[in-house]
Structure formats: structure tokens, C-alpha cells
Structure 1
Amino acid sequence: MQSLAIGAPEVVLAAGAMVLLLLGVFRGDGALGGLSWGAVILFGLAALNIVDDSPVRALAWNDLYVADGLSAFLKILILAGAAASVLLAPAHLARSGAARFEYPVLIVLSVLGMFVMVSANNLLTLYVGLELMSLAAYVLAAFHRDEERSAEAGLKYFVLGSLSSGLLLYGISLVYGFVGSTDFAAIAAGLAAGEERNMGALFGLVFVLAGLAFKVSAVPFHMWTPDVYEGAPTPVAAFFATAPKVAAMGLLLRVALDAFSGMVADWRQIIIFMSLASMLVGAVGAIGQGNIKRLLAYSSINNIGFMLIGLAAATAAGASAVLLYLAIYMVMTLGAFLCVLALSDSEGRPVETLSDLGGLVRSRPWLATALAIFMLSLAGLPPLFGFMAKLAVFEAAVAANLWLLAVLGVLSSVIAAYYYLRVVKILFFDPPADVVVVDGAGQGAAVVNNGMLAAAALFCSPLGYLLLGPLGEATRRAAASLF
């Protein structure tokens, strides 16, 4: 009973997913709107059952599961991103002829997998949660099954995701073989007890990090991201860019700073390489993109590189900076996708090409202003709230004597600012495009979408600094669970 009480959020989501599935089967695709709101209510119930007794760690199910401040913070972020992804989808799916009741059910099941991931206290729990999240994501990527590019996105995601799962499993088997356990605490103790470096465990660590790097879109395991973001339905791309990124980065924090805390000098080199490569590839790769969803995919890769700077610090301040970055990044990216969803041409087709956004400020001034706020915030330009996210990881790196990494991060920010400013230039200074851009949300959905868009824009504006105190305190308490 104690395990059920500690794992109540997962129990709520699992039972709720089955109820939503049954309702969908009996009521059909016409129930999509009702099931979407049902999923949001389910997320609210799960949030009410999340217990945060930081820095107390509660273990359940034979120590396979842990509930602490880190898992509580990550779960709240995951629920927020998932709820937004569910609410913004029905109108878009209806316009594209893909309004099927399975969408919110798959989102709930994917969120359940993410919950298991961030509460994993064992490599096997980690794998079960990650696969539950991924299996639902593969279906979501190909949700527009009649569209060639959506089917292609789902196939690429499945094939490359299966490869990453194989790498992860091989790494887990090596760690178990050379350490003798899959439990995080036992792994940390086993590595600390040895007088010499455990080379077998080191090879296992490399494969584990490779498998997790795929899930966060870190270079060199990023190749799926632009194609999947472009081919997947826009609400699904928004979901991929938010909740799964939070879960995967949170899991990477726990694995590196908890299970492999005795091998910091070894995994720090890998993290620094992935950080530098992600920042560079994300910045340079986005420059030539003409599709805004592909641009946001490279933006995601670039921002993951900045988050990895905080992880490379391997300190409580670094972990806190990563969590702060995750919270701000999720809102910025979600806001950008909300802007994309609000646009369609006179024939109802989605507007995704940057050139079609020319002079948008003349026809949709508020939408153009909101998109500019998100772009400039993603660039990390003051006084927008995104500046604080980058400042936090740079401060953590400097405090850990990683001066060169921090300097290279700043230079990467300068490169990346080009393509963000290019979008702003197109919105405000280019001549109006030939495409007639209209509100693509529909009357009912427009109220919800515009409300979320306004809240995201205000959060990313200088007004977001008013939340820095409580948000910073929450991230510090969450990071303390790892140390």
C-alpha cells in the first residue's frame, strides 16, 4: 500500500488512460474534444497526487522507484507541456482530417512513461519508462497516416529510436556485468569502492549516454529531429519539443549525478563534447532553413547544448540551472509552436514556410509581436526571460572552472542569434507575402490557444522575472535531491 501511495500519479495516469481508451472505442472519433479535456483533468488529478517532501527521498516497489524533489519538479513541467499539447491539437487535427480519439490517449500513455523515467531508481525502470514513452511517440509522429511526410517521420523516428534503445540496453548490460547491479545507489557504491577505474563500466556508461542523448536530440544523435519535427503534425512536434525533452534531460541528470556520481571526470568529457557539438550544429544548421518547424528543431538541438553546459558543471548549482533552463525553454518553444498553429492560408493549409510570414505584422500585429518575443527570448537577448536561462548555465560553468566552455557557449549564442533575428526581420520588415495568412485555430479553439499564447508571451517577456524568485527556489530544492 505504501508503494501505491508513493506512486499515486502513475496509478492515476494508467487507470485514466484505460478509461479514456474505452470511452473512445465506444463513442468514436467524435469524442476527441471531450477526451482531450478529460486528459487535461487527468493531468490535474495526477498533479494533485505528486508529493514533494524535498530533500526526503521516498522509495517504492523494492527501491525501483523514487519520489523526491527532482521528480516532483519534472513531473509538474511534463504535465504542463502535455496539457498544452492536448488542448491545442483538436482544431488542427480536425482541419487536417486526422481527428481521431487516440491522440489524447497516446499523450497520456507517453506521459506515464515519462513519469516512470524521472522517478527511475534502477536502470531497468529507466528502460521500461523510456520505451513506454517512445512507443506512444512513434505512433504520434505518424498520426497523419495518409500523408507521406508524416509516415516518413514516424518510420525514421521508429528505426533510429530502436537503434538508440539497443545502444542503451547494451550499455545497461555492460554496467550490470562489471558492477553487479542495476540499482542506482548500488552502482554508485560499487564504482566508489573500486581502487582502479572500472573500464567495463566506463564502456557501459558511454553506451547509456548515447542512448539518452538520442532522446534529448544531442549531437551526434540528433539526425532524426528536423525530419520528425517537419513531418509530424504540428501539435505533435510541439509535444516532442517540450514534455519528452524535460523527461529525458531530467533522466540524464539523475543517471549522471546519481548512478555515475563516481565517474564525473569520465562522463564530463562526453557531456562537454555533446554540448559544444549541439550548440554549433544547432546554430549553423538552422541558418539555411526555410521551414519554421525545421528551424525550431535546430533551435531545440542548440538549446540542449546550453543545458548540457549546466550538467557538465556537475554541481548543485549546475543542476539547478539546467532545471531553470528547462522550464523557460519549454514555455518559449511551446509559444513558438502556438504561433505556427495559429496560421493557415485561405485554403486552410498550414503556413510553415518562413517566406510566407513576410510582413505578418501588418495583418496580425499581436501574433507577429508574440512570435518575435519567443524568437528573441530563445536567442537569449536581454531583457527577455530567456536571457536568465543562459546566464544561469554560464554562471554554473564559470563556478566549476569551465571557463572555456562558458566562453564558447557565449560565442555560440551570437551565431544562433542570427537566425532568430532573421525571423523577426521577416515578420516586421519584409514585404507582405503572396499567401493570405488567416487565423487557423477556429473560433472555439482560438480562445484556448490565444489564452495560452498570451500567457507564454508574458512569461517570456521581462514580466517573467517576477517569477524568478519562486522558480529559482523550486529548482534549487529539486537539484538538492541529487546531492
Structure 2
Amino acid sequence: MLDFTSIVMTIAPELWLALAGLVGVLLGAVFGDRFNSFSFKFGALSLFGAAALAAIHLSGGESFGGLVRTNTFVNFAKVISFVLAGVALFMSESFLKRHETIRYEYALLTIFASLGMGIILSAADLMTLYMGIETLSLSSYVMAAFHRDSARSSEAGLKYFVLGALASGMLLYGASLVYGFSGTTSFAGIAASDMSNGTLFGMVLMIVGMAFKISAAPMHVWTPDVYEGAPTSVVAFFASAPKMASTVMFANVLFVVFGAAYDQWQLIIAIIAGLSMIIGALGALVQTNIKRLLGYSSIANVGYGLVAVAAGQEAGAAALLTFITIYAVTSLGLFAGVLAMRRRGGMVESISELGGLARTKPVLAVMLSVLIFSIAGLPPFGGFFGKYEVLRAGLDAGLMPLAILVVIASVISLGYYLRLIKIMWFDEPTERFENTDAPVMGTVVLSAVVAGIVFMVFISELGTGGWATYAASGLLR
């Protein structure tokens, strides 16, 4: 007999989000524009509810005949991803109101994108994985082009869609080869099969397809353009929740499905990690648009995370969770900071326009400085401990060249991070900043407190020996 309680608890967050999305569609159809403002609260509460459900059943389970399997590793990522998505959605309302594009469809797209995040993290079968990736991707394409009257937003959505379709095709082709040579689509079945040359070739294509989803080099080319062109509230979502979910999904597939072929894919991941760190760090140095700069920064930070993946499951799983959690929280705060900086002529995107921020908005300048120091990896802020965990994982796995690249890329990154600090604190103001909306400012402060103080004080509770280690142990169950 089917154990319905086990089935429901295993996929409770996804069932909850699917139900919330369908109820939202119904409410939108009935109330129309009257649902616009409330939809953001409705969506945020739905996402926080999904995070609570994932936390309640953190140990996970299996259902649908092995199509879905969860454990502490993926459920930890679900909790963080859903919370970040809820915060990103909640602070987006004021931004969209100012641009007169507030529509309930935005909240519903965020819910369905988060549903896709939950599915890819719960996947225990190639079919489930692909369904989740496409659910997340299709919602993301529409969100990137949400400002229909903006040529930049439309271009960002089109670039994302075209390149995303190419990556999805490569991922699907790789998955079909893995199925053809292993004879099964089940993660457990593939892991137990012979890793023939055909299976390994399919694995490489899958790695390329998944590398696009996390914006790792050389599949990174869409990232700066989409980050610059898409609405800032959308980019805040992209850079936090899906980044967390997709990176953990990437690691989960390699550790669980292709763990037996670790010696075969370690060098591939090491090369991708090295390219991402160097391309991201050097690319950000020459940027004048803050959103493009943060886009290249995200590429570099994905490279740091992939060092932990290349270190293998035993050495790198906990380090990856620690690093990517701190990065995702910090990234959301930085983009909230971009949302908070607005002049009479519109949003501030040019780096030179940050001049005088410390004089006109000292609280915002302090909070952004904490976030910048954290993402740069400077002690004693949270980002330093995240990079330390990654560096230690690389050294424990004998990846000395990658460890050296982590240090080099981090030093290069100080060039553009400290430039932001210098402009905010020492350059002359050019024009007065307008008042900041309370939800946006609250997100900046909350992210800075968490990334700069909470992680600094309680890093032992998150990192090695703490929650991240407990979560990573789920891979062994």
C-alpha cells in the first residue's frame, strides 16, 4: 500500500507551492488588478510556508516510486532558497509600483520558479530533474522580460531564452545518452551501472547544460547582459534563491548520480571552477555598471563554490553549503542596496553615481560596506569564513592549483569591491538620493546583519561541525 503520509511529507513544499500558484491564478482571474498589491504578500507568505514545511521534514524521504528523494542536504538548500525567494518577492512590490509594472503575474511567476527550484532539489530521476529545470527556466525567462516596454528588459529575456534553450537541449541530449547507455533514468540505477564511455559522454553534456544554469564559465556569457537588462528586483531573485538551489542541484547530481566517476569529472569541474574565478574577477574590473559588475562577481563566486564540488562529496559538500548560503544572503542584500539607490532621474546603476552615498545615506552606506566586505571575503565578516571553508576543502582534496586560484581571484576582486567603497565614502555627491522604501531598506539591513554579524558570530553553528555538516551527512543515507 502507498504510504500517503510519507509521500505528502516528502514533497510537501512543492505541493504547497503548486497549490498556492493555482489559487493565485484563480484569485487573479476573479479579482484582476485588485489582486495586484496583495499578490506580493500572498506569494511571500506562500514561500515562507514552503520553507517551514521543508524544515519540518528536514530528514527527507522517498516517494513516487523513486522519482523523488529528499534528504538533509537538499532540504537545507530548500529552506534557504524559499526564504530568500520570499524576501526578494516581498521587497519587489515598491520597485514595480514605481515603474508602473506591478502585476499579480510577477508574484505567481516567482512562486512557479520556486516550485521548479524545489523539484530540481527533490529529483531522484532524470525525468524529474528535467521537469524541474524547465519549470524554473520558463518562469525565469518571462521574469527577465517583465518590463515589456523596456528594450533592455526584452533583450535580456530574449538572450536568456535563446541561450537557455541551447543549454536545455545539451542537458536533455546528455540525459538521453546516460539513459541509453545505463538503461535507466533513476539516479540510483545510473550510479549502480557501468560507467561506460557513452555514459561519461552524456555526463559531460549534462555538466555543460547545468553549468549554464549556475552561470559558470564558459557557459556564463548570458549573465552580465541579463543582470544589466532585467528589472533589478528580478536580478535580486536570480542572484540569490535560484543560485542557491541550482548550485546544490549541480553538486547533488554529481555526488549522487556520478559519484563513482569522480576521477573522470573532477578535472572538468576544476577547469570550470578556475575559468569562472578568473573570467569573473577580470571581467568585473572593467565594468562601469554596478549590475554588470555584480554579474561578473556572481560568475567568480560560482567558481569558488565549484572548488568545493571538485573536492568531492566527503571534503566539499559541507563547505559548499556554507559558502553558497553566505553568498546568496549577501547577494540578495547587495541587489536590495541597488534597489535602494534612486535619484530623481531613475535608478542608480552607474558606479560613478554612488558618489556621496555615505554623506546623504550613512546607514545605507554602512550596510552596503558590510555586504561588500563580506562578499569580498575580508575578515571578520561571514564571506571570509565561506571562502575559508572552500579553500580548506580544496586543500584537503589535494587541489593546490585551485586553492592558489581562489587566493589570486580574491585579491583581484578587491580591485573592484574596494573601488565601490572608495566612491561611496570619499567621492563628492553628484545629486541627492531619494527616500528609500522601507521593505527594500529592511532587506539591506537584514542581509548585512546576517552576513556581517550573525555568520561571523555563529559560523561554528553553520560551517564544519554545524548545520552544514549535518545537512551534508544526508548524502550518505
Give the match for residue 441 of structure 2.
450
Deviations 1:139-172 (A, max 9, x none): 0000001100000000000000000000000000
Q: Which of 458, 466, 470 is the matching residue for 1:477?
A: 470
CA–CA distance in structure 2, aligned partners of residues 358 and 286 of structure 1: 19
Tell me by how many angstroms 1:53 deviates.
6.2
Instruction: Kindly indicate whether the alpha-carbon contact (under 8 Å) linking 1:317 and 1:476 is maintained by their aligned counterparts in 2.
Output: no
Instruction: Kindly indicate whether the alpha-carbon contact (under 8 Å) linking 2:81 and 2:241 is maintained by their aligned counterparts in 1.
Output: yes
Instruction: Kindly indicate whether the alpha-carbon contact (under 8 Å) linking 2:337 and 2:440 is maintained by their aligned counterparts in 1.
Output: no
Deviations 1:268-313 (A, max 9, x none): 1110001000000100000111111111101100100000000000
Give the match for residue 196 of structure 2.
198
2:27 is aligned with what amino acid?
A: L
2:239 corresponds to 1:248: no
Regions of 4+ moved over 4 Å: 51-54
Instruction: Kindly indicate whether the alpha-carbon contact (under 8 Å) linking 2:21 and 2:108 is maintained by their aligned counterparts in 1.
Output: yes
1:351-370 matches, within 5 Å, as 351-370=348-367
1:325-364 matches, within 5 Å, as 325-347=323-345, 349-364=346-361
Q: Which of 119, 124, 128 is the matching residue for 1:125?
A: 128
Tell me by how many angstroms 1:395 deviates.
0.4
Instruction: Kindly indicate whether the alpha-carbon contact (under 8 Å) linking 2:380 and 2:456 is maintained by their aligned counterparts in 1.
Output: no
CA–CA distance in structure 2, aligned partners of residues 352 and 95 of structure 1: 16
The count of aligned residue pairs is 470
1:50-449 matches, within 5 Å, as 50=54, 58-191=61-194, 198-347=196-345, 349-433=346-430, 435-441=431-437, 446=438, 448-449=439-440
1:264 is aligned with what amino acid?
A: Y
1:430 is aligned with what amino acid?
A: D
CA RMSD of aligned residues (A): 1.4
CA–CA distance in structure 2, aligned partners of residues 46 and 440 of structure 1: 29
Tell me by how many angstroms 1:449 deviates.
2.4
TM normalised by structure 2 equals 0.96
- 3-state DSSP class of the match of 1:50? helix
Instruction: Kindly indicate whether the alpha-carbon contact (under 8 Å) linking 2:125 and 2:187 is maintained by their aligned counterparts in 1.
Output: yes
TM normalised by structure 1 equals 0.95
Deviations 1:315-355 (A, max 9, x none): 323111111111100111111111111111124x1111111
Tell me by how many angstroms 1:475 deviates.
1.0
Instruction: Kindly indicate whether the alpha-carbon contact (under 8 Å) linking 2:224 and 2:292 is maintained by their aligned counterparts in 1.
Output: yes
Instruction: Kindly indicate whether the alpha-carbon contact (under 8 Å) linking 2:110 and 2:139 is maintained by their aligned counterparts in 1.
Output: yes
Structure 2: tracts of 5 or more residues without a match: none
CA–CA distance in structure 1, aligned partners of residues 236 and 429 of structure 2: 27
Instruction: Kindly indicate whether the alpha-carbon contact (under 8 Å) linking 1:109 and 1:136 is maintained by their aligned counterparts in 2.
Output: yes
Tell me by how many angstroms 1:52 deviates.
6.1
2:77 is aligned with what amino acid?
A: L
Deviations 1:376-428 (A, max 9, x none): 11110111111000000000111111122111211111011110011001111
Give the match for residue 47 of structure 2.
43
Tell me by how many angstroms 1:57 deviates.
5.3
1:321 is aligned with what amino acid?
A: A
Instruction: Kindly indicate whether the alpha-carbon contact (under 8 Å) linking 1:316 and 1:476 is maintained by their aligned counterparts in 2.
Output: no
2:3 corresponds to 1:14: no
CA–CA distance in structure 2, aligned partners of residues 6 and 460 of structure 1: 30
2:467 is aligned with what amino acid?
A: A
CA–CA distance in structure 2, aligned partners of residues 58 and 463 of structure 1: 31
Structure 1: tracts of 5 or more residues without a match: 192-196
Q: Which moved more, 1:376-385 or 1:27-36?
A: 27-36
Tell me by how many angstroms 1:461 deviates.
1.9
Instruction: Kindly indicate whether the alpha-carbon contact (under 8 Å) linking 1:52 and 1:68 is maintained by their aligned counterparts in 2.
Output: no
The alpha-carbon distance between structure 1 residues 40 and 53, as it changes in their structure 2 partners (threshold 3 A), is closer
Instruction: Kindly indicate whether the alpha-carbon contact (under 8 Å) linking 1:51 and 1:67 is maintained by their aligned counterparts in 2.
Output: no
CA–CA distance in structure 1, aligned partners of residues 243 and 84 of structure 2: 10
Instruction: Kindly indicate whether the alpha-carbon contact (under 8 Å) linking 2:360 and 2:432 is maintained by their aligned counterparts in 1.
Output: no
CA–CA distance in structure 1, aligned partners of residues 328 and 341 of structure 2: 21
Instruction: Kindly indicate whether the alpha-carbon contact (under 8 Å) linking 1:43 and 1:83 is maintained by their aligned counterparts in 2.
Output: yes
CA–CA distance in structure 1, aligned partners of residues 81 and 250 of structure 2: 15
